[in-house]
Amino acid sequence: VQLQASGGGSVQPGGSLRLSCSASESTLYYYHIGWFRQAPGKEREGVSCISSSDDSTYYADSVKGRFTISRDRAENLVYLQMDSLKPEDTAVYYCAADLTWYGDSSEGLSFRNYDYWGQGTQVTVSS
C-alpha cells in the first residue's frame, strides 16, 4: 500500500486544516488507518486512528475534542479534520496503514504497529 498525506499548510492559532490520506493503486477499505505527527527533535507521535470494520476511532488526549478522523469509502480517502489548532500541533503529519486493529487503546497510536507509511505533509501553526 502506497500512501500519501496531503492538505497541510500554515495557519494561525485557532485555525483549521483538513488532511487527506490517499492510496495509489490500492484500496484503503481493509486497512486500519492511523495519523501520526513528528516535530523536529521529537519522536513520532500517534494522533488518531480509525478501524476498517466499523470506523471505530481513537484519539490521543492532546487532540481529543479538536481533531476528527473519518473515512470516505467511496472516495478511498481518510481525513483528519483539525480544528482549534495550537502552535504545539506544528509537525509533519503522516498517515499509516495496517491490517491489525488494536481497539480503542494506545497501541493503535504506536507507530511501531503500522507497516505501511506515506510521505508526510507539513502543518505549521503560528501567528
Confidence of residue 59 (pLDDT cuts 50, 70, 90): very high
Q: Quick: pLDDT tens for 66-89.
A: 999 999 999 999 999 999 999 999
Phi, psi of 109 (to 5 degrees): -110, 15
Question: What's the average model confidence in pLDDT over 40-58?
Answer: 94
Question: What's the average model confidence in pLDDT over 37-42?
Answer: 96
Residues 95 and 34 sit within 8 Å (Cβ to Cβ): yes
